[in-house]
A and B are shown apart, each in its own frame.
Chain A
Amino acid sequence: MDPLFIGLLVAFATILVLSSGIPVAFGLGLVAVGFLFAFEGLDSLDVMAETFFSGLAEFALVSIPMFIVMGAAVASSPAGKDLYAALDRWLNRVPGGLIISNIGACSIFAALSGSSPATCAAIGKMGIPEMRKRGYPDGLATGSIAAGGTLGILIPPSITMIVYGIATETSIGRLFLAGLLPGLLLTTLFMCWSLYTAWQNGYSFKDQANKYSWREKFEVLPRIFPFLLIIVGVLYVLYGGVATPSEAAGVGAMFCLVLVVVIYGMWQPRKIWNILSDSMKESVMILMIIGASALFSYTLSSLYVTQSVAEYIAALDINKWQLLIIINLFLLVAGFFLPPVAVILMTAPILLPIIVQAGFDPYWFAVVFTINMEIGLITPPVGLNLYVINGIVPDVSLPTILKGALPFMLCMVLAIAILCVFPEIATWLPNYMMGGG
């Protein structure tokens, strides 16, 4: 049978199986095993355990649970509240300072926790009621936090980037650097839009601002600086060529655990245990998808699907930008339904050779890919951030949140367009710091 046709069958079967509500990991595994069995017989299943196991037994993957522990430690502590308080106290004299503080707090917290829902929950719990109290429209207050939360998968250290690095055998250090400036670009775009729309709605920035004394401004700093130091430390260790991402993440995890004990007095074994057990759940879930994806891509390549799709697209008479638009639309739709990690693992190994063949930079593409996934986080039907926010402020309806988030989605699309015109935003920093390019 034509491998391309098999590829279509696989795609169709995957959609069908996953829509049954089966866990993504087992659904992917089932499709992979089903196709191996149907086309290559029972004997071909002998390698399934080994493929699954070796997909997981990689030292680079160690960084995933470590970063998750780091994030869980921060998310379980009141660090988010302090971060928010610090930015609010320092920026409240700036016009629109409150919304700028919120988006800024989201981006920093997102970097620390690496988790979008955790960021929305931590910053949103304080930020949204405060913004509403000071008269910002509901849609803007909720939409800005939903969008701000998505920054976590772009700004380093990002678990999504680690997964991309492993799926495509690209450098995780470089990927982190590539995400930094585009992350700041998105943060800036979000802030600009928020200010513009608040101003458009006739919101006056001067009234109702609280005044904070210098004492209040300084007293919050000692509690948040150590966490910022950890991020900077982890990144320094990574780029100084001192240690591998897994080692940096492991030490970062230990430091974060120590910090929440020292700063927030969370020494009770129960609390530490909760952090560990939460991290275990998250990392088991992600790593099981990674193991199953190893099986999935093994099936695709042993049935020559991967190779044929690449050849087919190379033979198409379209220019690289048309190709990019098609890929973007495809990723966008996939991101509407599936978690970022699953989309990356299933499609990045197939897409990357095509993208590189067309003359795009693999690290630049990682950033574009990730922004597409961010959009999926704030769009229905599975836009998790929307539901998290709806949980925080149940009196704001989902359509209002969605409407508030829509302009931020457009900001992300704009960011992709800007990145297409100026790819250096993603590629300059890794090339400058790590050479080559």
Chain B
Amino acid sequence: MNFFIDIVRQLSRACGVFASILIASAIVVVCQMVVLRYFLQESTVWQTDYVTYALVAATLIGSPYVLLIKGHVNVDLLPHYLSLPARKILALLASIGGLVFTALLAWKGYEMFAEALHGGWVTDTIWELPLWIPYLSIPLGIGLLSLQYVADILALLNGRDMPFAMDTHSAFEGE
């Protein structure tokens, strides 16, 4: 079981690296687009689509890593007031709830991806990017997110993790 947890955690870390690279690439492309459009007065073809979809992909694929480091903001008021065993039960319930949602989303996302692939769907922009490419980020990212949830639940059950990782606090942008 520990082997499975470790493998999933490594995968999630790899996802985090990939998502960061996607964000970096989006910054570069935005700047290139601005130079082309406003300084060279040229029209741009693929940049807007690329930047938009790269960031969607970064979000979806980065999500398992953010779950791994408990970076998805939550309301941890109730857990604070519970005893350790009760806290553990609540953490399990919350994780199972999360897993239900992410597994559903991954499944429906896979269906959408498969449909786009077989139907040969493309974006309605000049670039005509095959839509299965951006859609792939849902089954991939959210699929791994579900796996990370399974690993988290296992780690809770065998006592490897503390419920809600109570001692860590992460700052939240946009507050």
Contacts and interface: CB of A to CB of B under 8 A. Distances in A.
A143 interface: no
Interface in A334-365: 337-342
B84 interface: no
Interface in A2-60: 17-27, 29-30, 33, 45-46, 48-50, 52-53, 56-59
Contacts of B69: 281
B112 A53 contact: yes
A117 interface: yes
Contacts of A57: 52-53, 56, 134
Interface string A221-254: 0000000000000000000001100110111011
Contacts of B140: none
A341 B174 CA distance: 7
A152 B163 CA distance: 32
Contacts of B95: 22
B3 interface: no
B172 A384 contact: yes
Interface string B75-118: 11111000000000011011101101110110011011000000
B23 interface: yes
Interface string B121-142: 0000000000000110010000
B68 to A, nearest CB: 10
B56 A18 contact: no
Given A30-B98, A117-B172, A253 B104 contact: no
Interface string B1-37: 0000000000000001101100110111011011000
B74 A277 contact: no
Main SS class of interface, A: helix
A84 interface: no
A287 B55 contact: yes
A282 B174 CA distance: 9
Interface string B28-70: 1011011000100000000010011101101110110111010
A425 interface: no
B23 A280 contact: yes
A367 interface: no
B73 interface: yes
Contacts of A246: 30, 51
Contact of B51 (A19, A29, A62): A62
A382 B76 CA distance: 8
Interface string A158-185: 0110010000000000000000000000
Interface stretch (A66-74, A92-100, A193-201): A66-74
A147 interface: no
A415 to B, nearest CB: 18
Nearest to A287: B59
B173 A288 contact: no
Contacts of A131: none
Given A280-B20, A340-B174, A384-B171, A250 B98 contact: no
A45 B108 contact: yes
A88 B19 CA distance: 40
Nearest to A373: B175
B75 A18 contact: yes
Given A22-B98, A115-B174, A247-B34, A53 B135 contact: yes
- Of listed A71, A341, A387, residue having the most chain B CB within 10 A: A341
A160 B101 contact: no
A286 interface: yes
A283 B59 contact: yes
Contact of A22 (B38, B97, B111): B97
B31 A21 contact: no
Given A45-B108, A114-B174, A285-B72, A26 B48 contact: no
Contacts of B27: 66, 69, 250, 253-254, 257
A393 interface: no
18 contacts: A20-B90, A21-B164, A22-B97, A23-B72, A29-B105, A30-B97, A48-B104, A62-B51, A160-B175, A243-B38, A247-B30, A251-B34, A254-B31, A283-B173, A284-B71, A285-B71, A287-B59, A382-B75
Interface of B: 16-17, 19-20, 23-24, 26-28, 30-31, 33-34, 38, 48, 51-53, 55-56, 58-60, 62-63, 65-67, 69, 71-79, 90-91, 93-95, 97-98, 100-102, 104-105, 108-109, 111-112, 134-135, 138, 164, 169-175
Interface of A: 17-27, 29-30, 33, 45-46, 48-50, 52-53, 56-59, 61-62, 64-66, 68-69, 71, 114-118, 121, 152-153, 159-160, 163, 242-243, 246-247, 249-251, 253-254, 257, 273, 276-277, 279-289, 291, 337-342, 377, 381-382, 384-385, 387-388, 391
The 6 tightest CB contacts between A and B, nearest first, are: A250-B30, A23-B72, A282-B173, A117-B171, A49-B108, A284-B62
Given A22-B98, A50-B112, 6 more contacts: A20-B97, A21-B90, A24-B73, A26-B72, A30-B101, A242-B38
